[in-house]
Amino acid sequence: MDIFEQNDQAITRNSLYGTAAESTYAGITSFMRRRYSRDLRGVDVVVSGVPFDTATSNRPGARFGPRGIRAASTGIAWERHWPWTFDPFDHLAVIDYGDCAFDSGMPESVPDSIETHAEKILTAGCAMLTFGGDHFISYPLLKAHARKHGALSLIHFDAHSDTWPDEDGKRIDHGTMFWHAAKEGLVDPSRSVQIGLRTTNNDHQGFEVLDARHVHRRGCDAIIEAIRARVGDHPVYLTFDIDCLDPAFAPGTGTPVCGGLSTVQALEILGGLRGINVVGMDVVEVAPAYDSAEITSLAAATLAMEMLCLYAARHKVDR
């Protein structure tokens, strides 16, 4: 088929599998040109967005993250993801499900809306790759995933621990989710690890912390080894707050912190985790209004593809 007959694959592609080229600068911007669909039959992985950012403690704007990541992904959707030796879309049926619906005028109802959204997808037997939105969205997503898989290992890339206490349990806050997740048994801190942290919080709830200086001094291979030793073969929820990257590589975020990882370091660490039992994934805190030349959105889209490769390697390719 002529390339000019392949435009708008988000609505015109016949198969959920495969990669095909179309103009990178035109067409409907589904993630990686996957078909937009709400039909979950035969689907392995559902990509969806949660455009919620009122739990942020600094600059708002991550509600536009899902749209920004999708748009940036069109520039890399024309070929196999490098340096992996297989195309995940040859092995995984992936759809773009669109965004989670919620009533922004009733913020107290949003967590339940996100959890219900995830529950429907997971109950259908699909895995999830979710785009935020601020990092709070990981909390209701973890609730739904833990209901299916039990207490999870958390691999958490971030500048912040997000384990600040919330004793009354009423805050909708992107800095308290993993305090709750640990307290409620959604994740097992003894099998979980946080990478890239560079803010002060003395209460880590038992998570192993490989902070940013640790990464810079020890190198990617040592970090990969430490993560593998920590999580073993336990079911893993993988969450990447884009502010884990240094602002030089990801300025488009709400709470940037100097001294972070480079995009190369993050990709090397993720790629080195091939074989881990990843069961759920998200990329959060992309705020395109503060971006420069879409480098943050592009980093997020590329990291998301790395996650899909990890998922395919464990659940399809290496079987």
Binding residues for Mn(2+): 135, 158, 160, 162, 241, 243
> Token pair of 44, please?
């392995």
> Token pair of 148, please?
């299916």
The Cβ of residue 154 has, within 10 Å, a number of other Cβ atoms equal to 24
Q: What's the DSSP call for residue 80? A: P
The Cβ of residue 272 has, within 10 Å, a number of other Cβ atoms equal to 17
Q: Which residues are annotated as a binding site?
A: 135, 158, 160, 162, 241, 243
- Cα 311 from Cα 45, distance rounded (Å): 9
Q: Provide the edge-to-edge strand list for the sheet that holds 153-157.
A: 35-36, 94-99, 45-50, 127-132, 278-284, 236-241, 153-157, 193-195, 208-210
Beta-bridge partners for 306: none
Tell me the torsion sign for CA atoms 184, 188, 190, 196.
Answer: negative
Torsion angle (degrees, nearest 10) of CA 262, 74, 49, 255: 30
The β-bridge relationship of strands 127-132 and 153-157 is unpaired
Rg (CA), the chain: 18
Read off φ and ψ for residue 241, nearest 5 degrees.
-80, 125
> Token pair of 60, please?
């708002």
> Token pair of 305, please?
């593809």
Classify 314 as helix, strand or coil. Answer: helix
CA angle (306 as vertex; 5, 180 as ends), nearest 5: 125
Classify 5 as helix, strand or coil. Answer: helix
